[in-house]
Structure 1
Amino acid sequence: MSEFQELSHHIQTIARADEEQQNSILNDYIEEGLEPGSVALILEAFPIDERVRLWRGLPLELHIEVLTEARADVRNSIIAALSETELKITLAKLDNMSLIEWADSLPDEIINEALSLIEKDELELYDQANEYDDDELGRWAERKVVTLPFNISVERAKVLMERYSYDAPHHIYLINKRKQFRGVVSYIDLLRAEPTERLKNLSSENVVTLNAKLTLAESIEALEHSSTSSMPVVDDGQTLVGEVDWHFALSTQREIYETRLMAGTGMDEGDDLFAPVVKSSQKRGVWLGINLMTAILASVTIGLFEDVIAQVVALAVLMPIVASMGGIAGSQTLTLMIRAMALNQITVGNRWALLKNEIGIGSINGLLWAVIIGGLAALWFQSGILGATIALAIVVNIIAAALFGVLIPIVLDKLKLDPALAGSVILTTVTDVVGFFAFLGTASLVML
């Protein structure tokens, strides 16, 4: 059974159980190794009242971790249902990483209360993280790492490890007195080394560090090409900030993917499956309104040729083909562009070459499908003129789709707008308008 099938099975089993048994079943799954992220997904699959009850029944040590793994709206729905005492107890257990994750989605009064309740050490780490922007690696780096002076002996290092009760780490970061990064030592190598050996002599050579100012996308790419499971993060002065690992890369990449997927319909990655009806209706209604405006623009274009459509009914039959071919061609180019931009592959130096390449592809596909569709239309309606008209419209629309599929995301990016959010709507409008105008405009000239 795959992970997703297993999760679906868990949800179904809990949903079918009596209310008194549901928490017991969920806790049994946790004892069997169910991860907090999977627990959060299970809670999301239940209406808010049931979700809150299931969360309250979790082991106390999992409360914060499950809420942090949950989507923003899901987390907020649980927090909103807590009593004042429950909320204070929950906020007091926050660590710096959880508070950073929560800060963007909770009201300021709750965040301020959390800041007054969390431990002093966690507050200091939270303040350090806030020195960086949301899209900078330094904000999300794990700051709780094991560090030791780089020039001490192995014997001294072991004494310090015992004194500070460090759990056995995978590796240890070496720093100088100014907390600047000087290397990394495997914990296994430390245990095997001679007592008199210096830590700096055990350090791995050519350790690659990540600058805390890197964007999340750049950091993920670096981790993807790294031979290690984690990488140290340093600031411009080489001071050790913390580390990031493959788990960070996977979760961040998933969030980026879900954000872009949801953005295409005007929704947010943190949206709740069981969000309140009125709130969801308002949020989705805005997007429907935007779509209505673009649809009206396409309809106005059709309305300009009302007389010719009335006289040649075949035009109304064939119009969806013109729009559909342009739409899919444009979507292919737009998807390619959004992926390339997410990977920082689009630069001033290659935009023109990419544009020419896409127009070339559009020209070939346009001519090929124009011949096929034009021939079919001519045979269907016994009209060579009609076949030639739709063939011309197909060529024009597919080339236009390629052109605007490249230009629209570039322009939106320049305007600091997410191409994944607005790109598809704008492109669909452009291909509809261009396709209808080319098809109906040509028909009005040659068929009347």
Structure 2
Amino acid sequence: MQTSDRQEVIDDLLSKVDQDAPETIQEIEQAHGVDSLALLLEALPVNDRVGFWEQLSPSLQLPVLAEMRDDAGEAVIRAVDEAQLHTLFADLDADTLLELQDVLTEPLLEEALGRMDSEQKQRYASAQQYADNQVGHWCDHQPLVVPAKTKVNVVLRLLRRVMPKYCDHVFVVDSRGIWVGAVPIHKLFGADGVLKISELVREQFPSLNARDDIYTSADTVASSEEIALPVLDDGNMLIGRLDLGTAYEMQAERAEAQIMATAGLDEDEDLFSPVMKSARNRALWLGVNLMTAFLASWFIGLFEATLQQVVALAVLMPVVASMGGIAGSQTLTLIVRGLALGQISKANLKPLLSKEFKVGLLNGVLWALVIGAIAGYWFESWGLGAVIGAAIVANIISAALAGIFVPVLLEKLKIDPALSGSVILTTVTDIVGFVAFLGLGTLFLL
């Protein structure tokens, strides 16, 4: 669904809040998929969200709930009658329970597990062996798999009954479930029906280890030119697969998480989460920012006497800070992306530093001339223009270098550079810019 279409549907839903509008719900169900329905409901205030969710057909309520962000889904679960929840979770499968386990209460989780058949319980237990950032936790446990001794004609009969989404290969295992290889489905057509499937196995088919990071695995699938890759445990046993659709969802989820992290927010935060919860989530980041602001202010305070005598320096300080901040954020964004894609290493760090130093020097000199001329003309002091010009050069160069060092260092410390890199970078550029500007002003203007 396009953004503009979604906004129109939201407006339509909100206009009918006080009406019983089952026909509107049915139209949305028919016209849009589960993902779009989840996004639509997240855009509604909590009371309205619950009301419209209850009007969804029973077959859609659970899938939509599973697709909603944790905070939004939890708000629905808290508001829905307990008896309705018991009915809703009566036929929960393992994959849906994995999606919902973080928002379900312990009693509901235990009840859902108790009602599962042995196959679903085994699948859930298999996923729980791996952390939720590992591909073994999220892989599809129902790939198209046949034993190596199976005849081609038997496999073809199986294909007439079963054809999973994102499937162009049959996975082959031995009698113990150990990975043998994959056979392209198109090779089965025209092949001798009495051949063993193992005789058609494609060599060098890529695979994933169940303990691999889920986002790294998603990138591997997306760049593999395959529709799905097998997921193997440490003993080379096939436990599932990661398909292209799931890989793209994971990449989108990571991108959203990084965007939210730059503001210190959780990607699961609901638009209409309770005021106290939202305030608590954001308070910590505001506190961190406050400490860095006080640190920058302390450095400014060291030049109090200079500011009292040369007021123009105080007027121009925001210009120095702003130019350094923008220059640093440009480099930071580039490096964070490079780290996420695995493009930054010790081998290319030195040439990268050299390149960014030259970019910072070129832009620093260019904008130093522009800002110095404006400041000199404005305050009728070419000495002041020269001081701010020199400070701009120093700050833009230091911002470019910090834009590399800060995220690389955070990555080595196992801290997400997308989460805290911008705050640290802003502090560095502010301090360098203010010290350079006010220090040069003290030396040459007093």
1:153 matched to 2:180: no
Q: CA separation in 2, counterparts of 1:422 and 1:54?
A: 38
1:2-38 CA distances to partner (integer Å, 9 max, x unpaired)?
Answer: 7222222221222222544434312222123x11110
Partner of 1:318: 316
Contact 1:149 1:177 in 2 (8 A): yes
Greater displacement, 182-191 / 342-351: 182-191
Specify the alignment match of 1:24 in structure 2: 23
Alignment correspondent of 1:82: 80
Q: Which residue of 2 aligns with 1:97?
A: 95
Consecutive aligned runs of 4 or more in structure 1 exceeding 6 Å deviation: none
Map of 1:190-269 to 2, 5 A cutoff? 190=188, 193-269=191-267
Partner of 2:66: 68
Conserved 8 A contact 1:92-1:119: no
Which amino acid in 2 is paired with 1:197?
L
Q: Which residue of 1 aligns with 2:171?
A: 173
* Residue pair 1:145, 1:243 contacting (<8 A) in 2 also: yes
Q: What is the CA–CA distance in structure 1 between the aligned matches of 2:103 and 2:263, rounded to whole Å?
A: 21
> Counterpart of 2:267 in 1: which secondary structure?
coil
Alignment of 1:8-407 (within 5 A): 8-17=7-16, 19-32=18-31, 34-158=32-156, 166=162, 170=167, 171-187=169-185, 190=188, 193-407=191-405
**SS of match in other structure, 2:324:** helix
SS in 2 for 1:399: helix
Distance of aligned partners of 1:398 and 1:108 in 2 relative to their CA distance in 1, 3 Å threshold: farther
The one-letter code matched in structure 2 to 1:70 is M
SS at match of 2:279: helix
Mark the CA change 1:145 to 1:19 in structure 2 (over 3 Å): closer, same or farther: farther
For residue 373 of structure 1, report the CA deviation from its aligned partner. Answer: 1.5
Whether contact under 8 Å (1:96, 1:126) holds in the other structure is: yes
Call closer, same or farther: CA 1:36–1:330 in 2, change over 3 Å. same
Amino acid in the other structure paired with 2:240: G
Q: Is the 8 A contact 2:324 2:395 kept in 1?
A: yes
Q: 3-state DSSP class of the match of 1:233?
A: strand
Contact 1:36 1:62 in 2 (8 A): yes
Partners of 2:367 and 2:272 in 1: CA distance: 44
**SS in structure 2 opposite 1:416?**
coil
Q: How far does residue 211 in structure 1 lie from its aligned partner after superposition? A: 2.4
Q: Which amino acid aligns with 2:284?
A: V
Provide the rounded CA distance (Å) in 2 between the counterparts of 1:14 and 1:280: 25
**Take 1:57 and 1:17, find their aligned partners in 2: how far apart are those partners?**
13
**SS of 1:428 mapped into structure 2:** helix
Matches of 1:358 and 1:36, distance apart in 2: 45
CA distance in 2, matches of 1:195, 1:21: 59
Structure 2 unaligned residues grouped into runs of 5+ = none
Partner of 1:63, secondary structure, is: helix
User: Mind listing any 5+ residue stretches in structure 1 that lack a counterpart?
Assistant: none
**1:64–1:93 Cα contact (<8 Å) kept:** no
- Per-residue deviation at 1:107? 4.8
Q: Is the 8 A contact 1:142 1:243 kept in 2?
A: yes
Provide the secondary structure at the position in 1 that maps to 2:182.
strand
Give how far 1:331 is off. 0.3
Q: Is the 8 A contact 1:358 1:403 kept in 2?
A: yes
Give 1:208 shift.
2.2
Q: CA deviation at 1:411?
A: 2.1
Corresponding residue for 1:442? 440
Go from structure 1 to structure 2 and tell me whether the alpha carbon gap of 1:208 and 1:331 turns closer, same or farther (over 3 Å shift): same
Q: Compare 434-443 and 93-102 and name the one that shifted more.
A: 93-102
> Is this contact kept in 2: 1:168–1:187, CA < 8 A?
no
C-alpha separation in 2, matches of 1:236 and 1:326: 48
Task: Report the Cα distance in structure 1 between the residues aligned to 2:113 and 2:403, rounded to whole angstroms.
Answer: 46
Give RMSD over aligned pairs: 2.2
In 2 relative to 1, CA 168–111 (structure 1 residues): closer, same or farther, beyond 3 Å? closer
Secondary structure class of the residue paired with 2:314: helix
- Supply the distance in 1 between the matched residues of 2:22 and 2:429 (Cα, whole angstroms): 52
How far apart are residue 202 of structure 1 and its match? 4.1
Alignment-mate amino acid for residue 375 of structure 1: A
CA pair 51-109 structure 1, distance change in 2 beyond 3 A? same
| More deviation, 243-252/209-218 | 209-218
Q: Map Cα deviations across residues 173-217 of structure 1 (whole Å, 9 max, x no partner).
A: 222101122233455654654432332344445422222232223
Structure 1 pair 160/371, CA: closer, same or farther in 2 (3 Å)?
closer
- What is the deviation of 1:312? 1.8
CA contact (8 A) 1:148 1:157 kept: yes
Cα gap change, 1:328 to 1:107, in 2 (>3 Å): farther
Partner secondary structure for residue 92 of structure 1: coil
Structure 2 residue identity aligned to 1:207: F
Count of aligned pairs between the two proteins = 444
Judge conservation of contact 2:222–2:248 (CA < 8 Å) in 1.
no
For residues 345-366 of structure 1, the C-alpha deviation after alignment (integer angstroms, 9 at most, x for no partner) is 2223333332232223222222
Q: Which amino acid aligns with 1:17?
A: K
Paired AA for residue 13 in structure 1 = D
2:144·2:163 contact (CA, 8 Å) conserved in 1? no
Q: Percent identity?
A: 41
TM-score (norm 2): 0.92
Distance 2:159 2:382 in 1: 86
Provide the residue aligned with 2:426 in structure 1.
Answer: 428
Query: Which residue type is aligned with residue 114 of structure 1?
Result: A
Whole-angstrom CA distance in 2 between matches of 1:99 and 1:359: 51
Residues in 2 aligned to 1:116 and 1:352: alpha-carbon distance in whole angstroms:
57
411 and 23 in structure 1: CA distance in 2 versus 1, 3 angstrom threshold: farther
Q: 1:18 to 1:267 in 2, by over 3 A?
A: closer
